[in-house]
């Protein structure tokens, strides 16, 4: 039977009929409602099709989709009750199993052996949290061995339990589309290895947390239709060379989301030595890639962005480890290409959040609403405020060319991020280096706790011209407790005397800190 794409207009009058029929309401009780049996098969099928829930995070953001959405895949049983309404519905549902995306769900508490023995030969979905019962372990292994029927796999449990399941994953899984295997972040004592023979030619979404991939892995060289790739390396032994990553990416022309996440830093010196002996020569174009997240050292990122082209990139998130230097010439070139290929893109606002153990920066493009996702965010894992300011000053001075259009700058902090008096007082020069990367800023907002330091930063040195720092500034807003009414008076007076006045604003309420999603 050929079925057209469903439309909501064709089912508006039939949804209520189906609901009443499934609950057993009689025609006599509802004489003004037509019988469910007057609906043709296509109309019923449209109802069933639109009734299907989102199972894999299709309606959620990039981070949720990496892990198959925020809900349990047990929602894949949505059709069970409908198939028990009557023989006609059951025949229609099973006769359109592929169109409706039917599957059998294997999860904690499911008697897998009985289900496989007495159910139709539908594709299987595996979704297990931690396994504590021997029956669940046996059932999971039995389901994993149904290679020709597995469509989706998601398992998230300690490495000791995962090890027992991984041995059942080998050879080819011809219809597998979704694979998520993860162990808790703290559970990285043992290194898990994906079998080299494992392959899934129709795989579209892959997330591996805490796994090592063999260099000769057939998984990443045969999954040519991959749309999502998320690799988080929890142990140093799971590290792979940038050349290896680029070779893998060259087999993924359809890739849309890429996450490479190292939990521990690799020595930049060692990496530079590796790159000297094995220079990167493989250029890769990913025409559909729109979201990239990277966590690691800048040397690794530089090696990747040097050889990768992403004409449709929309969002880039970078997490750096604490480093003494940040040399980012390749990232600057990459971002410049990114902006040149995106119509009318220019960054308009930047926020710096100085938190405990990290400094987080989000940069928004022109016209971007507050509730939309960011075009660029940078997070640096560094403990103390003085190091935080020094780190982002080096990064943003290296990238100042692409932030020349930023007009709105906000500096926020959480009180506990100022961990000790020794590291509280930031060198005035470092603040000025950071502010110097934003020559076009028109509004500056300073949070409580930074007022004293920034007021000193904005004071003029002997012989310094008033417009040397933040020459386009028009408004300075600050919040804080205590007597800070004269904090910026010398700066305001200097700008007034130079004929470029700045309006000073002190709101009564402290602004709400921006929310960071990791």
Average pLDDT per 10 consecutive residues for the chain, totaling 518 residues: 36 39 47 67 89 77 76 86 89 91 91 91 90 86 93 87 84 93 67 85 91 81 92 81 88 94 75 69 87 90 90 88 82 82 78 90 71 72 89 90 91 66 76 92 90 87 80 89 74 90 78 47
Quick count: other Cβ atoms within 10 Å of Cβ 245?
A: 23
CB 264 within 8 A of CB 239: no
Write the CA distances from 226 to 24, 177, 252, 310, 427, integer angstroms: 45, 9, 6, 16, 48
CB 326 within 8 A of CB 298: yes
Per DSSP bridges, beta strands 358-365 and 347-355 are antiparallel
Residues 115 and 210 both lie in one domain: yes
Residue 125 lies in a domain: yes
Write down which residue in 206, 222, 238 finishes a domain: 238
pLDDT score at 186: 58
Residues 88 and 135 both lie in one domain: yes
Residues 122 and 230 both lie in one domain: yes
CB 157 within 8 A of CB 130: yes
pLDDT score at 343: 64
Write down which residue in 201, 217, 238 finishes a domain: 238
The H or E element that residue 387 is part of is: helix 385-398
Tokens describing residue 259 = 């996450």
Quick count: other Cβ atoms within 10 Å of Cβ 341?
A: 13
d(CA 148, CA 101): 16
pLDDT score at 483: 61
- Residue 160, classified by CB atoms within 10 Å of its CB into exposed (0-12), middle (13-18) or buried (19+), is exposed
pLDDT score at 318: 92
pLDDT score at 7: 35
Number of domains in the chain: 2
Write down which residue in 175, 204, 238 finishes a domain: 238
Query: For residue 104, what are the domain limits?
Result: 57-238
CB 255 within 8 A of CB 288: yes
Work out the angle between the directed axes of helices 329-340 and 298-305 (0-180°, nearest 10).
Answer: 40
Residues 214 and 230 both lie in one domain: yes
Residues 95 and 148 both lie in one domain: yes
The beta-strand segments (E) located in 372-516 are 376-381, 408-413, 443-446, 475-478, 503-505
Residues 91 and 228 both lie in one domain: yes
Query: What is the phi/psi pair of residue 180, to 5°?
Result: -130, 120
The closest of 248, 244, 268 to 258, measured between CA atoms, is 248
Q: What is the pTM of this model?
A: 0.82
Residues 30 and 156 both lie in one domain: no
Write the CA distances from 50 to 11, 65, 75, 332, 471, integer angstroms: 9, 21, 14, 46, 57
Tokens describing residue 40 = 């043709």
The closest of 73, 84, 90, 17 to 47, measured between CA atoms, is 17
pLDDT score at 19: 45
For 284-314, the pLDDT digits (tens) are 999 999 899 999 888 889 989 988 999 888 8
Residues 213 and 105 both lie in one domain: yes
d(CA 127, CA 149): 15
Residues 90 and 232 both lie in one domain: yes
Q: Compute the half-sphere exposure of residue 249: CA atoms within 13 Å on the CB side of its CA.
A: 29
- The residue written with tokens 């795989």 in the block is 203
Quick count: other Cβ atoms within 10 Å of Cβ 143?
A: 26
Sign (positive or negative) of CA dihedral 421, 427, 430, 434: positive
CA 502 to chain centroid: 39
Residue 254 lies in a domain: no
pLDDT score at 410: 94
Determine the 3-state secondary structure of 89 from DSSP: helix
The closest of 381, 181, 391 to 264, measured between CA atoms, is 381
């Amino acid at each position: 039977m050929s079925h057209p794409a469903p439309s909501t207009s064709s089912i508006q009058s039939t949804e209520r009929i189906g609901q009443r029929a499934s609950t057993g309401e009689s025609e006599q009780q509802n004489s003004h409602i037509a019988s469910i049996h007057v609906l043709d098969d296509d109309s019923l099928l449209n109802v069933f099709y639109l009734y299907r829930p989102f199972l894999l995070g299709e309606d959620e953001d990039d981070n949720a989709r990496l892990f198959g959405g925020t809900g349990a895949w047990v929602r894949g049983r949505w059709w069970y009750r409908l198939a028990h309404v009557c023989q006609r519905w059951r025949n229609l549902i099973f006769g359109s199993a592929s169109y409706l995306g039917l599957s059998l769900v294997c999860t904690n508490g499911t008697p897998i052996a009985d289900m496989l023995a007495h159910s139709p030969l539908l594709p299987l979905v595996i979704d297990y949290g931690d396994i504590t019962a021997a029956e669940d372990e046996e059932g999971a292994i039995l389901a994993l061995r149904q290679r020709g029927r597995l469509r989706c796999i998601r398992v998230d449990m300690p490495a000791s339990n995962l090890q027992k399941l991984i041995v059942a994953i080998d050879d080819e899984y011809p219809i597998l589309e979704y694979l998520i295997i993860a162990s808790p972040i703290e559970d990285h004592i043992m290194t898990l290895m994906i079998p080299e023979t494992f392959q899934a030619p129709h795989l579209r979404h892959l997330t591996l947390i805490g796994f090592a991939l063999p260099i000769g892995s057939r998984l990443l060289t045969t999954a040519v239709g991959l749309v999502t790739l998320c690799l988080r390396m929890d142990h140093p032994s799971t590290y792979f060379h940038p050349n290896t990553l680029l070779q893998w990416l060259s087999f993924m022309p359809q890739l849309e989301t890429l996450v490479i996440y190292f939990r521990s830093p690799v020595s930049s010196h060692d990496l530079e030595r590796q790159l000297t002996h094995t220079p990167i020569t493989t250029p890769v174009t990913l025409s559909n890639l729109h979201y990239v997240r990277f966590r690691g050292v800048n040397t690794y990122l530089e090696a990747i962005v040097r050889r990768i082209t992403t004409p449709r990139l929309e969002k880039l998130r970078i997490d750096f480890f604490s480093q003494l230097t940040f040399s980012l010439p390749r990232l600057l070139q990459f971002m410049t290409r990114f902006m040149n290929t995106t119509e009318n893109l220019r960054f308009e606002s930047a926020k710096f959040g100085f938190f405990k153990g990290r400094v987080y920066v989000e940069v928004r493009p022109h016209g971007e609403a507050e509730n939309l996702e960011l075009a660029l965010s940078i997070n640096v894992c560094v403990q103390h405020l003085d190091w935080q300011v020094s780190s982002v000053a080096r990064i943003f001075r290296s990238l100042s060319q692409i932030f020349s259009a930023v007009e709105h700058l906000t500096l926020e902090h959480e009180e506990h991020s100022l961990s000790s008096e020794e590291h509280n007082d930031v060198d005035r020069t470092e603040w000025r280096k950071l502010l110097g990367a934003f020559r076009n800023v028109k509004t500056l907002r300073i949070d409580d706790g930074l007022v004293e330091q920034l007021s000193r930063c904005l004071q003029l040195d002997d012989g310094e011209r008033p417009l040397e720092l933040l020459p386009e500034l028009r408004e300075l807003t600050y919040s804080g407790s205590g007597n800070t009414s004269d904090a910026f008076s010398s700066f305001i007076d200097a700008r007034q005397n130079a004929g470029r006045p700045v309006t000073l604003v002190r709101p009564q309420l402290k602004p709400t800190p921006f929310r960071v999603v990791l």
